[in-house]
Structure 1
Amino acid sequence: MSAVKDAAVAKAKQVQRDYAGEADRPLAGYLGAMGVFGVFAGTLAALGRVTGARLPRRFGAGDTVLLGTATFKASRILAKAAITSPLRAPFTKYEEPAGEDELNESVPAKGHAGHAVGELVSCPFCLDVWIGTGLAAGLVVAPRPTRLVATVLTAVGVADALHLLYDAGKKLASG
């Protein structure tokens, strides 16, 4: 078995070199994150089966807009908000403010798993698939509380947009 493991490790290192050259890309960490996502999605599917939840025939445009907006806002809060920085701190390094209560953070190399987690938790685009999957599953398994959470996140996102528009309008008016 040791020979098989050694061969697998050697092959993984060769793939890493062929893919990234001298750059240290956390391929093993990404593979682990994909595995965890698979377990997450599988667990949600099993939860739906155990609870007897049935998939709707279709999701309407309103549900899609609600989930999209809520996913956007939740991913911004988790990946960029100052208040959630303690959740990212084990995997990221503070760099500078990034505008309206958001932060720029870097991901120091802390091994492949730590680097991959750092990229995930500090990237709203990366979090979208996790949050969107969770919210969509929530609409199937627990639609009423999920709609409440999604509506609150959407309302906060709309309010944020209005604040930014208001501030931009004040700047235009003052010349």
Structure 2
Amino acid sequence: MSKIADAVETEADEYRQGADRPLGGYVVLMAIFSLLAGAAGAVAALRGTRARRISPYDLILVIAGTQKLARLLTKDSVTSPLRVPFTRYRGSGGPGEVMEEVRRDSSLRHAVGELLTCPFCLALWVASGFTVGLLFAPRFTRTVAAMLTAVTGADFLQLIYGRLQQAAEE
């Protein structure tokens, strides 16, 4: 086993090229994601839940809802307490958003910090949650996705309004 562990560590070091990459933490996150997805699939199979075709309407709701929830969880000022164990505050970002730096105390903390500060990374987890939600609780999932889609639309309108107001003042 020691030879295998040494070989894995050698490959990981060669891959990193001296960069701080939390490969062990990524493995843990992939395992958790796989276990959750597998558990959802197993429950669906045991209950006889059949996947339905996702309508274009549901797809639009899930796309916009995923974007907004991933952004809300990774960048919003109000959700920063969720990220405190994994990040450090570095300054203001976009409207209502913060910029944070990932803590690197351990491989797992680093990997979770990257996940919780990257809307692109977290989007897979959020979209998976919406997809599972459509399987088991479609009405509730559509309601949540519609609310998040409305907030996405409101955000765009706020930005447009701000730009128009700024242009009128100039």
Scaled to the shorter chain, the TM-score interval is: over 0.9
- Pick which of 9-18 and 126-135 moved more: 9-18
Deviation, structure 1 residue 50? 3.4
CA distance in 1, matches of 2:141, 2:4: 43
CA distance in 1, matches of 2:117, 2:165: 31
Alignment match, 2:83: 88
Deviation, structure 1 residue 27? 0.8
1:50 to 37, 46, 52: 46
CA distance in 2, matches of 1:74, 1:11: 40
Alignment match, 1:112: 107
TM-score, normalised by the number of residues in structure 2: 0.96
Alignment match, 2:150: 155
CA distance in 2, matches of 1:50, 1:102: 42
Alignment match, 1:69: 64
CA distance in 2, matches of 1:9, 1:111: 19
Task: Could you tell me which runs of 5 or more consecutive residues in structure 2 were left unpaired when the two chains were aligned.
Answer: none
Within 5 A, what are the aligned runs for 1:115-130?
115-130=110-125
Task: Could you tell me which runs of 5 or more consecutive residues in structure 1 were left unpaired when the two chains were aligned.
Answer: none
Alignment match, 1:37: 33
CA distance in 2, matches of 1:8, 1:36: 23
Question: How many aligned residue pairs are there?
Answer: 170
CA distance in 1, matches of 2:136, 2:47: 7
Alignment match, 2:14: 18
Provide Cα deviations, 1:99-139, integer angstroms capped at 9, x if missing partner: 21101001121211110000001111111000001101111
Deviation, structure 1 residue 9? 2.1
Percent of residue pairs bearing the same amino acid type? 40
CA distance in 1, matches of 2:127, 2:133: 10
Deviation, structure 1 residue 156? 0.9
**Off by >4 Å, runs of 4+ in structure 1:** none
- Counterpart residue identity of residue 96, structure 1: G
- Counterpart residue identity of residue 3, structure 2: A
CA distance in 2, matches of 1:93, 1:82: 13
- The answer as to whether partners of 1:51 and 1:141 remain within 8 angstroms in 2 is no
Alignment match, 2:5: 9
Deviation, structure 1 residue 12? 2.0
- The answer as to whether partners of 1:26 and 1:112 remain within 8 angstroms in 2 is yes
Provide Cα deviations, 1:26-68, integer angstroms capped at 9, x if missing partner: 1111111111110111122123223332111x21221111100
Deviation, structure 1 residue 166? 0.6
